[in-house]
Amino acid sequence: MSKMVIQQPQAFAMATTSNQWSSGICDCTKEMKSCCFAFWCFPCFACITAKEAGECLCLPLLDWFGCIPPATMSLRASLRQRYGIEGTLCNDCVMSLFCGPCSWCQMAREMKTRVQPITLINTRPH
């Protein structure tokens, strides 16, 4: 007599961390709510994003006083360090200077993506 063993597939957790940005600098339209908010009221969007990153709400206002936006560049470097994203200060400087609003949108998307880095995967076939 043979015994039949039946195993039910189990879900498992997979961490979704990477040493790269989860979205590109020009992927603003991937999250239309943030994209529209940044387009219509960029100063408010930047201040709220800075606050969500744990910085002073008024930090982005410093960008108006310099040639290179210091707040954008420093927050971008801080998020790279926090999440282990590869990059350089030179790249952060270029993105902050020439792609400021897109850089803020990218940082906001990154923080939302990294808030819940666990994904449950169901291994049961459909």
Residue 68, domain member (yes or no): yes
pLDDT digits (tens, 9 = 90+) for 92-118: 989 998 988 999 999 999 999 888 655
- The string of pLDDT tens digits covering residues 44-66 is 999 999 999 998 888 888 888 77
70 part of a folded domain:
yes
Is pLDDT larger for residue 65 or for residue 74? 74
99's tokens: 């792609």
Q: 97, exposed or middle or buried, with CB in 10 Å at 0-12, 13-18, 19+?
A: middle
The residues that bridge with 15 in the sheet, in sequence order, are 118
In-domain check, residue 37: yes
- Answer whether 0.95 is exceeded by the pTM: no
For the chain, what is the domain count? 1
